Amino acid sequence: MKKPSIVNTGLDLPLPPKERIQRRVDEMKANGVAGFIPLVQAVAREHGDEAYAIARRVFAALGYEVSLERLMDPHEQGVDTYPWR
């Protein structure tokens, strides 16, 4: 059973195609994690809150430190230049 997410469920969006996700990863590498947070939240809505911990470990492996609180923040809008939605 899927764990309930703390993210506002009214914001549910379908996940983007893998090509768009790859573009976002490339942009994240160039510009930091801010623009990637909305995608992490979309994955968490679909697959559960463990996605936040996984994302935090992935970001750390790439050299970016980000708190779980920031990843879970429903007001985190990311960077507007990352139009994955």
Q: Token pair for residue 62?
A: 């790439």
On whether the CB atoms of residues 28 and 58 are closer than 8 A, the answer is: no
Task: Examine the pLDDT at 10 and tell me if it is beyond 50.
Answer: no
- CA-CA distance, 71 to 41, in Å (whole number)? 7
For the chain, the structural domain boundaries read: 31-72
Which tens digits make up the pLDDT trace of 13-66? 677 888 988 887 787 677 677 778 888 998 999 999 999 999 999 989 988 889
